[in-house]
Structures are given as structure tokens and as C-alpha cells.
Amino acid sequence: MAEPALSIRGLTKVYGNGFHALKGIDLDVPEGDFFALLGPNGAGKSTTLGIVCSLVQKTAGQVKIYGVDIDRDFAKAKYHLGVVPQEFNFSQFEKVEDIILAQAGYYGLPLRQAKPRCDQLLKDLGLWDKRHGPARMLSGGMKRRLMIARALIHRPRLLILDEPTAGVDIELRRSMWDYMRRINREEGTTIILTTHYLEEAESLCRNIAIINHGVIVRNTSVRDLLTELDTETFLLDLAHPITEVPRVEGFEVEKVDSAQLALSVRKGQRLNDVFTQLSEQDIQVLSMRNRANRLEELFVTMVEGNNAKTQAEQAAQEEAQ
Amino acid sequence: MNPQQILISLWTLVVKEVRRFTRIWPQTLLPPSITMTMYFIIFGNLIGSRIGEMDGISYMAYIVPGLIMMSVITNSYSNVASSFFSNKFQRSVEEMMVSPMPNWVILAGFVLGGMARGLGVGLIVTLVSFFFTDLNIHHPLVTLGVVTMTATLFSIGGFINALLAHKFDDISIVPIFVLTPLTYLGGVFYSINMLPEFWQSVSLANPILYMVNAFRYGILGVSDIPVAGALVAIAIFIVAFFVLALWMLERGKGIRS
């Protein structure tokens, strides 16, 4: 069986102030996967990825990148790794091209190999015209693309993207998605993504892990996770204003405003029944959309459930003391 | 990394460092030249003409080695301290940390960058001094050896300072409150033989005195202290500082949480 791109066992991190950021997590990311690591702020996502990238020191546990234990040969493991962090972490005063070529140099790539690769990445990521300008002159979206180009210069097998599209406009976000899909599909690059846009995770990723309070709450495929969704809420835009909430047999309906209804649909229920009943009451529906992203609904449910469990455990501990 | 890759990564870092301080030359190369010209005019020409000779050498020529050394020390130190701290501040140090580049290469790259600036400024000050006095270098190898070793030592010192610094103020404390006083009291402008016996003994505890005097010996052939001992002491300090800096880097001191 092929080694996973990333294998984590019993990973623990206790910061100097005593905060337990990670409580012995286990995680496997198969080769070629597009994997999402999700969780609320402070859940332990960035700490996990920071340890994998050597930016954070672990307290205990084992991390292997393509079978290479980072405690035994971190340098070898790092060759497989490309990192796009959450914050901009390049010198704002350097030229765009110099930043990418310097990174190639840090990996020991000769200039004759690095330059054509750099040119290609600059073109692919729409930075070609800006290559001789200082990085500080780039827009936020361009800076994010610069970090992606820099992370890919040495052709890593595992790419870690920590909120790569934060603050990026929708059009650019979509083009970045396309690019990430392409390198995952065509070059076989394994991608681990953290994001707050759950639409992004649902659209891009095959597998997903949800982390909260330093513990992996769920680790499954996006498809399996979505089948667990019991209820979806749709917003119906109406052709004419209404004064009273219509009665729809078997469904829960709420009035959002005079021209919009919120409809809860349980798994297995047919939408045709809704439209039939609404038509009978002379209510015309112009359009319909999900109130929230499907994954978002699940995520909120799981995180809230985990928070309640953690609070209950803490309360029990305090009582026992 | 194989030796060729190590060489490429080291070269990349050194070139980047040299590019950095040459790009901002009005802040890095010009001010020491102007300051030292002022020293030559005021201390060497105006005041020096009334002092006459020191250790049988004109006062202007006497202070030249000390002033060159002062420039080398402050520029080597501040180059590495400000550059590495700036990398920490902008988080671009992470570019190096995520790469397979060994820690000793990171340290060596910054130190070589600091040495390049220190020696570069030293050369500029030497060229400026030719407008004020004639210098006949007595011991070229000693001169070159001392100035190179001093630049190395203070570059490593700057690196340690940057690792420990939390804010920009922290990288100016050592140059202002330690290096400058020690340099002024390190026999740049006078021979310690002019001091009372007690202060001569106190002066011998100042490491910069040994560097200035060893350098002066190399250029003028006169020194207040035994030169061989000074060279050995500098070499020991270089090894000790390098080991300390590398240990701190391995432990992630100031750069890893």
C-alpha cells in the first residue's frame, strides 16, 4: 500500500502558557487527495499545519510526510512540501520574481532550472506583468497568488494551503480554484486546504477533517458527510407579497419577509409537494436557493455539538474537583 | 541536501543580503562615510594638529585604524541584526524555515552578508582616509585577518541579538549602550598607555581594545597589547558565538512557537 502523503499520529501541542492546542490527533491524507481541514478559529488547524511545516514545535507525536519522519530527516521531508500560509510572509520590498527565485535557491535548485519554472508559474498565476515590480505594489489577491507560485517552484508533492482565498474577490477565487484543481488533477499534487469558506471545501475537496478544541471531530469524505445532512433550508423568492404564512402539509415554513419564505426539507421529502401546495394557494415561486451552504450547516451542527460536549466535560471536571 | 544544493542555497542567501544593503545604500553605505569624514576633519585635522604625535605616529594616522574598525564593527553588527529581525518581523524568515536549508547555512548566509557590508564600509572609510593621510600597511595578513575575523564575530553577535529581539528597539540597545561605548573606550582615539594604571587594567577587559590594537598593529606596526593573544581570543569568541547562535537556531529560539 502506498504511503500516505501525510500521516499524523498522537500529535500534541502544549504552548508555553499551558494552552493545549492539540490533544493527540491522528490524521492520514492519501496521496493525490484534495483534503480540507476545517474548524473554527483557535481549533488547532494552523498549529497542526505549522508543525508539519516546521514553523511550530510539537510537544509529542509523530508526523510523516510521504513516509519520511520529520524527527528523523526533516530536510528530506521538506522537499515534498510546499506551503502557502495564511499571512503574507515575504519581504514587501523585494521584486516578485526575486522572491520566487530565492525560494528556489533555498531548495538548492540551479537558476537554469528555476527560471523557466518561475516564468511558467508567473504566467499561469497572472503575475507575469508584475514580475519586475516590488511585492508591496501587488493587490491582496496577487500577493496570495505570489505565495502559491513561491510554494510551487520546487514542484512539491504535497501542497498546504492555509486559507488561500481569504480576502480574495469571487472571480479571482474561482480562477484560483480552477488552478488548484488543475495541479491536483494533472500534476497529482496532494493538496491540504484550510478555509472558512465551506463552499470552497465542498467544491474542491474529496475528503475532510473537522477539528475543534484540538481534537478531530470527524474525518470522512465530503460525499459521506453530506449524506448525513438531515434537513436543508431553502429560501423561496415569491412573485407577489404575502401577508400570512402559507400552510404546507408535512413541511416547516417560515416567513422571512413579505416576499420570501424559508422552507425546511427533511431527507426523502419531495419538493414537488411543496410547489403543488403553494400553487393551490395561488403563491408563485420565482426562484429558490439554499439558505446556507450544505456543508456549513453540518459544520455548525458538529462544532456546536462538540462545544456543548466540551463544556459539559469541563463542568463535570470542575464539579469533581 | 547535497554539497551543490547547499552551495546554491548559501549563495542565494548571500546575494539576497548583499542586494538588500546595496539597494538601500543611502541608509547603509553613505552615512558611515560621511560620519567618518567628519571624524577625520575634526579629530584628525583640527584637534589632531594640536596633539602632535602618538606612539611616534601622527595623530591623524593613529586614529585611522580605530575608525575603520569602528565602522566595520557597527556595520557588520547592525546589518545582520536589522536584516534578520526584519525577516522575523515580516515573517519572511518562514521562507527559509520551511525549506530544507540547514540551519548552519542560514546562519552562515546572514553572517557573510554582514561581513560583506562591514568590510565594504571599512573599505570606503579606508579610501576616505587616503584624502587625509598616507597609510603604509606594515602587516597585510594581520590587517586582513583581524578585520575579517572582527566582521565575522560582530555579524554573529548581530544574529544572536536579532534572534532574541522582540521589537525594533531591541536591536538598537546593544549598538547604542554596549558597542559604541566599548569602541570609544577601546583605544580608537588614544593609547591606553596614557591612562593611569588602574584604568589601563580596566581597559584590558574591553574586547574591542584587542581588535582595534591588533588592526592598528597590522596597519601601523604599533600596538598596546600582544597581537597573537588578541587573534586567538577573537577566534575563540567566533567559535563560541557561532555555536551559541546555531544552538539557538536549532531550538527555534525567537522564531518558532
Residue A266 belongs to domain spanning: 229-290
Which pTM was predicted? 0.83
Give chain A's mean pLDDT: 88
Between B108 and A271, the higher pLDDT residue: B108
Residues of B in contact with A74 (CB under 8 A): 100
B257 in any annotated domain: no
Of all residues in chain A, what percent carry a pLDDT higher than 70? 96
Of all residues in chain A, what percent carry a pLDDT higher than 90? 53
A65 in any annotated domain: yes
Same-domain check for residues A28 and A155: yes
User: Which residue numbers in chain B have pLDDT < 50?
Assistant: none
d(CA B217, CA B228): 11
Same-domain check for residues A221 and A250: no
* pLDDT tens by residue, A152-179: 999 999 999 998 887 778 888 888 889 9
d(CA B184, CA B209): 9
Running DSSP on this structure, what letter comes out for residue B167? S
* pLDDT tens by residue, A273-286: 899 999 999 999 99
> Would you put residue A304 in left (φ > 0), alpha (ψ -120 to 50) or beta?
alpha
Residues whose CB is less than 8 angstroms from the CB of residue B187 and which lie 6 or more positions away in sequence, other chains included: B66, B203, B209, B212, B213, B216, B224
B256 in any annotated domain: no
Backbone angles phi, psi at B166, to 5 degrees: -105, -25
How many Å lie between the alpha carbon of A206 and the closest alpha carbon of chain B?
26
Strand segments, DSSP code E, in chain A are 6-14, 20-29, 34-38, 60-65, 68-69, 81-84, 158-162, 190-194, 207-212, 215-221, 231-238, 252-257, 260-266, 285-290
Same-domain check for residues A145 and A178: yes
A303 in any annotated domain: no
Element (H, E) at B58: strand B57-58
Does this complex have an ipTM over 0.90?
no
A36 in any annotated domain: yes
Same-domain check for residues A148 and A41: yes
> Could you give the number of structural domains in chain B?
1
Residue B20 near residue A99 (C-beta atoms within 8 A): no
Among A106, A115, A148, the strongest candidate for a mutation testing the B interface, having the largest count of B CBs within 10 A, is A106
Residues whose CB is less than 8 angstroms from the CB of residue A161 and which lie 6 or more positions away in sequence, other chains included: A84, A148, A180, A191, A192, A193, A194
Kindly determine whether residue B94 and residue A85, on different chains, have CB atoms separated by under 8 Å.
yes
A316 in any annotated domain: no
pLDDT range class, residue A198, cuts 50, 70, 90: confident
Joined together, the cell numbers standing for residue B239 give 567559535
Closest residue, chain A, to B106 (C-alpha)? A106
Closest CA to A198 of A306, A85, A45, A36: A36
Same-domain check for residues A197 and A248: no
How many Å lie between the alpha carbon of A71 and the closest alpha carbon of chain B?
13
Same-domain check for residues A50 and A24: yes
Instruction: Give A108-114's long-range contacts (Cβ < 8 A, gap of 24+).
Output: A108/B1, A108/B2, A108/B4, A108/B5, A108/B6, A108/B8, A108/B9, A108/B100, A108/B101, A109/A153, A109/A154, A109/B8, A110/B8, A114/A153
B76 in any annotated domain: yes
B116 in any annotated domain: yes
Total Cβ atoms within 10 A of residue A10: 13
pLDDT at B249: 94
Kindly determine whether residue A105 and residue B12, on different chains, have CB atoms separated by under 8 Å.
yes
pLDDT at A303: 73
A142 in any annotated domain: yes
Task: Spell B81-107 as b/e; 16+ CB within 10 A means b.
Answer: bbbbbbbbebbbbbbbbbbbbbbebbb
Joined together, the cell numbers standing for residue A310 give 466540551
Given A208, A226, A244, the domain boundary residue is A226
B34 in any annotated domain: yes
Kindly determine whether residue A92 and residue B100, on different chains, have CB atoms separated by under 8 Å.
no
d(CA B11, CA A31): 34
> Could you give the number of structural domains in chain A?
2
Which residues lie across from A260 on neighbouring strands?
A237, A257
Same-domain check for residues A219 and A242: no
Residue B162 belongs to domain spanning: 3-251
Which CATH number characterizes residue A46's domain? 3.40.50.300
How many Å lie between the alpha carbon of A86 and the closest alpha carbon of chain B?
11
Same-domain check for residues A215 and A238: no
pLDDT at A1: 60
A146 in any annotated domain: yes
Residues of A in contact with B91 (CB under 8 A): 85, 87-89
Closest residue, chain A, to B252 (C-alpha)? A57
Residue B173 near residue B89 (C-beta atoms within 8 A): no
pLDDT at A97: 96
* pLDDT tens by residue, A5-61: 999 999 999 998 889 999 999 999 999 999 999 888 888 998 999 999 989 999 999
Residues whose CB is less than 8 angstroms from the CB of residue A277 and which lie 6 or more positions away in sequence, other chains included: A246, A247, A248, A249
Cα A15 off chain centre by: 24
pLDDT range class, residue A294, cuts 50, 70, 90: low
d(CA B68, CA B122): 5
A190-194/A34-38 β-pairing: parallel
Is the pLDDT reported for residue A240 higher than 80?
A: yes
Q: How would DSSP label each residue in B170-199?
A: HHHHHIIIIIHHHHHTTTSSS-GGGS-HHH
Residues of B in contact with A21 (CB under 8 A): none
Is the pLDDT reported for residue A301 higher than 80?
A: no
A206-221: average pLDDT = 90
CA distances from A74 to A62, A65, A228 (A): 12, 9, 39
A119 in any annotated domain: yes
Which CATH number characterizes residue A258's domain? 3.30.70.1560
A156 in any annotated domain: yes
Same-domain check for residues A240 and A199: no
pLDDT at A141: 87
d(CA A160, CA A151): 9
Which residues lie across from A23 on neighbouring strands?
A12
Among B95, B107, B251, the strongest candidate for a mutation testing the A interface, having the largest count of A CBs within 10 A, is B95
Side chain identity, residue B108: A
